[in-house]
Structure formats: C-alpha cells, structure tokens
Amino acid sequence: MVQATPFLLVLSLVLGAHSLSAKKCSLTGRWVNDLGSNMTITSMNAKGDFSGSYHTAVTATMNEIRVSPLQGSLQRTNQKGQPTFGFTVNWSFSDSITVFTGQCFLDEDGKEILKTMWLLRSHVDSIKSDWKATRVGINVFTRLESQK
Ligand code: BTN
C-alpha cells in the first residue's frame, strides 16, 4: 500500500497530461463574438466542409437584421487539435458578403476560442466607389455557455 501511493500519483499525472494534450478544438456548436453576434455551426462532413447560421449584432446598412447562412471549410492537415478554417456569410438582408478566416485555439484552461479576421465587401454602384467597398476587422468567438 505504501508503494501503491507514488504509483497512483504518477498514473494520475500521466492520464491527466494525456487528457489535456488529447483535447481538440471543435467548431461545431454555438458561439458568440466580441460584438455580441451569434453563430451556430451545425454540420461538418468528413472533408471538413461545414455549414451553419450567423446572427450578426451589428450592420453597416439600415436594413433589419436577419439570420444568414454560412458555409466554410476546416483545414485538417497537421493541425494538432487547433485547426485553421475559413467561412463565408452570405447576408440575407443586405447585398454584402463577409469572409472570415481564423484558427480554433485551446487556451491555457482548455477553453476553446476562435480568433478570426474578416473582410466585409459591400455593394457599391460604380467602380469609382470601389475604394470604399471593403471593411476589415477581427472577431474573437467563445463557445456559448451550456455548450461542450
Ligand atoms: C451588412 O451590414 O451588410 C451585413 C452584416 C455585416 C456584419 C459584420 S460582418 C463582420 C462583423 N462581425 C460581426 O459579427 N458582424 C460584423
């Protein structure tokens, strides 16, 4: 029994370390970003193609905000559980498109966090106005509470 204690201690450390390193960042589920926008990723196939919906909290237009579809792709090569990804939101209530690119990280507490950059392309009436048609920014997403 005296020798069993250090053995159990080492075993629990090994198992604990393994479960931490084995944890992977997964995109499926519900997310909220720093602007208060909500995103749900519902389906992911074996190739890493995914789809879902996006409810933005803000708009560059005067239009009434509506939930909009998103489609994306997860990179699955040598990602060590923290994969890169990209997705497009085709806004239902405006003539704009946003593309996001980012990486799914596990922070030091094992919490998932999506660090993204986006380009929002708005429609303009002529090529003369092209210079003002694209906005750029960053968004940080965290998993909504009560989600795994
Ligand atoms: C539009 O205004 O034409 C469509 C909505 C754009 C919302 C942008 S996309 C980037 C940023 N992140 C969000 O969650 N919402 C804004």
The pTM of this model reads 0.86
Query: How many angstroms separate the CA atoms of 133 and 126, rounded?
Result: 10
Task: Decide: 90 in ligand 1 pocket, CB within 6 A.
Answer: no
Q: Which of 100, 101, 118, 135 to mutate to test the pocket of ligand 1 (most atoms within 8 A of CB)?
A: 118
Give residue-wise pLDDT tens across range 46-58: 999 999 999 999 9
Q: What is the mean pLDDT of residues 124-136?
A: 98
What pLDDT, on the 0 to 100 scale, is given for residue 27?
Answer: 97
Using the mean position of ligand 1's atoms as its centre, give its distance from the Cα of residue 77 in Å.
Answer: 29
Domain segments of the chain as ranges: 29-143
pLDDT at 101: 98
Which CATH entry fits the domain spanning 29-143: 1.10.3720.10, 3.30.499.10, 2.40.128.30, 2.60.120.1440? 2.40.128.30
Question: Of residues 92 and 22, which shows the higher confidence score?
Answer: 92
The answer to whether residue 21 scores a pLDDT higher than 70 is no
Rounded to an integer, what distance in angstroms lies between the CA atom of residue 51 and that of residue 57? 19
Nearest alpha carbon, ligand 1 atom 15: 56
Ligand 1 within 6 A of CB of 93: no
CA 97 centroid distance within chain: 17
Q: How many residues does the chain have?
A: 148
